Homo-oligomer: A and B are copies of this chain.
Amino acid sequence: MADNIAEKMSEAMREVSVAEFFEKNRHLLGYENPTKALITVVKELLDNSLDAANEADMLPRIKIKVTPISEEKFKVTVEDNGPGIREDKVPYAFGKLLYGSKFYRLRQSRGIQGLGGHGAVLYSQLTTGRPAKITTSIGKKIHYFELLINVSENEPQVINHETLENPKSWHGLKIELELEGRYVEGKQSILEYVKQTHMANPYAHITLDGPNGKVVYERLLNKMPKQPKEIKPHPYGVEIGVFRRMMSVTKAKTVTTFLTEDFSRVGKRSALQILKVAKMDPKAKPAEIPHEDAERIHKAIQGVKLIAPPTDCLSPLGEKLLEEGLKKDTGAEFVVAVTRPPSVYRGNPFLVEVAMGYGGTLPSDQSAQLFRFANKVPLLYHQSDCVTSDATKDVDFRRYGFSQPGSSLPSGPLAILIHFASVWVPFTSEGKQAIANYPEILKEIKLALQDAGRKLGSYVNQKFKQNEMRLRKELFEKYVPELAESLSKLTDKSKDKIIRDLEKIIKEKDVKREEEPAEAEKVETTKKDVVSEEKKEPEGDELNEKDSGREEKSEGTGQ
């Protein structure tokens, strides 16, 4: 009996097309509901345009148009002035999933998998059956395409292709999709996405023509950011499986040149040292090395000291831009920013930037606002699943003058921006909304938050102190006339003289207080979110504090 069933079961096995896989699992690409789907389509097309502009080093001018066709159908058009796509590649660039130029390259960019634009086309045809309409030129003729994805085969299906003259040498890309969606405004919306994108890409000119009117985000910078460089993989981050594959396809003729040429940071001396440890002939042909030897070389690499990978593959926003962006966007009265030096996880270079804004028009009675970016792309969803949240909860914000109930986000008039830049962002899912919790990444974000927190803390504490002083002074001043009246009667001195004396005392005490740190008296304040415990410690120490030691010390004090 068993063999009959097994026969039947074995017979039923077949290959699944990757397009079919993602069609069925479209929530993996960010299409789990109509609201999110509409945002995701705009996001993917906008990201692609910005990537193309970066790639070609051209200042981007992008027009986004979202037009309702019916209650639940929309037409989305995104047009850029980028380099365009060569006509023979257009069908694949939009009609074949897992097709792209960035997958094998180690350098910071927004998209990488060849799934973003394709996903938008796939969702569009799934929900409306309509083809994608693409107009592009690389400066020569203009090409117009209408295409669908043949889902069962994961192959493009061109419905229509026209070639047009291009007298003005236009170049760029325009894509038009029809899809089911729902348009919303608010915290998770197209408006918010475009606004935050512009915050991190101020060299872009973006027009958003939505159902409720037009918004223009002007270009604030007339210079493109420095192009990040492409790097080779660093040997520390290459697993044995990939290492063997690289070995089998390398053009290098000896294992020594394989190590020096196919990896970054391996000089000839390091290569020879590795091979000596692995007891290998430096002239061995890579393709002929058996598994056991390859394993020994791979193991030897981990034992030899190599320089960290180059970091010019990264393109940070920079502290100035971060501060300006956050201030403009949140209306904070005081802003600090920190760009950490690059670090490495799994052999991939990355760096973390943090900006914090305080006060101003920020609401003081709720949790801090968290703005998350990965390679300059805003992340709107899955905040609680993101390493940026974990890190923010782990840092003790009570030390910087904020309340923080349990292990949650701090409360108060606070905005926190975290930018993670890497050649490879480890998203928790293909929806690309949350960054996975690798220990090295968690650590760097925490350090950045602590750096920024300390900077902000002295301002917050000072402000709090001033506020406290003002309250005391006001209280005292209120009673001065009454007190003077009584004292005048008791001492028979002039009431005016006494008032002047008292005011002088108040003023002196003020000066003295400003010189010394606040005393340990507890004062009720109107601002519940700010705790006073921290202020007992002298300012100097505050700046030199060690992260670990103080962390323990402050546990259980504030709040």
Beta-carbon contacts under 8 Å, A137-196 to B:
138-140, 151-152, 171
A490 at the B interface (CB under 8 A): no
Q: Shortest beta-carbon distance, A530 to chain B, in Å?
A: 22
Q: Shortest beta-carbon distance, A415 to chain B, in Å?
A: 23
Whether A126 and B6, one on each chain, are in contact in the complex, defined by CB atoms closer than 8 angstroms, is no
Q: Shortest beta-carbon distance, A492 to chain B, in Å?
A: 59
Chain B residues near A6 (CB-CB < 8 A):
56, 83-86, 138-139, 171
Whether B2 and A56, one on each chain, are in contact in the complex, defined by CB atoms closer than 8 angstroms, is yes
Distance between Cα atoms of A426 and B239 in the complex (Å) = 31
Distance between Cα atoms of A428 and B30 in the complex (Å) = 10
Chain B residue at smallest Cβ distance from A87: B10
Contact of A16 with B113 at beta-carbon distance under 8 Å, contacts A138-B6, A138-B7, A241-B23 already known: yes
Contact with B along A364-393 (1 / 0, CB 8 A): 000000000000000000101100000000
Chain B residue at smallest Cβ distance from A52: B9
Whether A242 and B101, one on each chain, are in contact in the complex, defined by CB atoms closer than 8 angstroms, is no
Chain B residues near A24 (CB-CB < 8 A):
103, 424
Chain B residue at smallest Cβ distance from A7: B86
Chain B residues near A52 (CB-CB < 8 A):
9
Contact of A127 with B55 at beta-carbon distance under 8 Å, contacts A6-B139, A98-B16, A171-B3 already known: no
Whether A127 and B240, one on each chain, are in contact in the complex, defined by CB atoms closer than 8 angstroms, is yes
Contact with B along A510-538 (1 / 0, CB 8 A): 00000000000000000000000000000
Beta-carbon contacts under 8 Å, A400-420 to B:
none
Q: Shortest beta-carbon distance, A94 to chain B, in Å?
A: 11
Q: Shortest beta-carbon distance, A384 to chain B, in Å?
A: 6
Beta-carbon contacts under 8 Å, A112-134 to B:
113-114, 125-130
Chain B residues near A113 (CB-CB < 8 A):
16, 21, 25
Chain B residues near A11 (CB-CB < 8 A):
86
Q: Shortest beta-carbon distance, A404 to chain B, in Å?
A: 15
A16, A113, A426, A438: which has the most chain B beta carbons within 10 Å? A16
Whether A3 and B139, one on each chain, are in contact in the complex, defined by CB atoms closer than 8 angstroms, is yes
Whether A103 and B171, one on each chain, are in contact in the complex, defined by CB atoms closer than 8 angstroms, is no
Chain B residue at smallest Cβ distance from A15: B99
Contact of A101 with B294 at beta-carbon distance under 8 Å, contacts A2-B58, A32-B436 already known: no
Distance between Cα atoms of A14 and B98 in the complex (Å) = 9
A96 at the B interface (CB under 8 A): yes
Whether A10 and B85, one on each chain, are in contact in the complex, defined by CB atoms closer than 8 angstroms, is yes
Whether A16 and B428, one on each chain, are in contact in the complex, defined by CB atoms closer than 8 angstroms, is no
Distance between Cα atoms of A152 and B244 in the complex (Å) = 12
Distance between Cα atoms of A473 and B112 in the complex (Å) = 71
Whether B98 and A9, one on each chain, are in contact in the complex, defined by CB atoms closer than 8 angstroms, is no
Whether A103 and B436, one on each chain, are in contact in the complex, defined by CB atoms closer than 8 angstroms, is no
Contact partner of A2 (CB less than 8 A), chosen from B9, B27, B83, B152, is: B83
Chain B residues near A98 (CB-CB < 8 A):
15-18, 21
Whether A9 and B99, one on each chain, are in contact in the complex, defined by CB atoms closer than 8 angstroms, is no
Chain B residue at smallest Cβ distance from A81: B2
Contact of A140 with B15 at beta-carbon distance under 8 Å, contacts A85-B10, A384-B384, A385-B382 already known: no
Q: Shortest beta-carbon distance, A141 to chain B, in Å?
A: 11
Q: Shortest beta-carbon distance, A137 to chain B, in Å?
A: 9
Whether A13 and B125, one on each chain, are in contact in the complex, defined by CB atoms closer than 8 angstroms, is no
A5 at the B interface (CB under 8 A): yes
A214 at the B interface (CB under 8 A): no
A295 at the B interface (CB under 8 A): yes
Chain B residue at smallest Cβ distance from A122: B241
A209 at the B interface (CB under 8 A): no
Chain B residues near A242 (CB-CB < 8 A):
23, 126
Chain B residues near A553 (CB-CB < 8 A):
none
Q: Shortest beta-carbon distance, A35 to chain B, in Å?
A: 12
Whether B13 and A101, one on each chain, are in contact in the complex, defined by CB atoms closer than 8 angstroms, is yes
Contact of A92 with B27 at beta-carbon distance under 8 Å, contacts A2-B171, A240-B127 already known: no
Chain B residue at smallest Cβ distance from A90: B10
Contact of A152 with B245 at beta-carbon distance under 8 Å, contacts A2-B138, A113-B21 already known: yes
Chain B residues near A129 (CB-CB < 8 A):
240-241, 243-244, 291, 294-295
Distance between Cα atoms of A338 and B469 in the complex (Å) = 61
Chain B residues near A505 (CB-CB < 8 A):
none
Contact partner of A86 (CB less than 8 A), chosen from B10, B14, B28, B99, is: B10
In the A-B complex, the 6 residue pairs with the smallest Cβ-Cβ separation, listed nearest first, are: A126-B241, A6-B138, A10-B86, A429-B429, A12-B101, A6-B83
A-B contact sample (8 more), CB < 8 A, given A5-B83, A9-B56: A3-B83, A3-B139, A6-B171, A7-B86, A27-B428, A33-B438, A127-B241, A129-B291
25 A/B residue pairs, CB under 8 Å, sorted by A: A2-B138, A3-B171, A6-B83, A6-B85, A6-B86, A9-B56, A12-B101, A13-B92, A13-B101, A14-B99, A14-B100, A15-B96, A20-B103, A21-B113, A24-B103, A25-B113, A126-B239, A126-B241, A126-B242, A127-B239, A128-B240, A129-B291, A151-B245, A152-B249, A428-B429
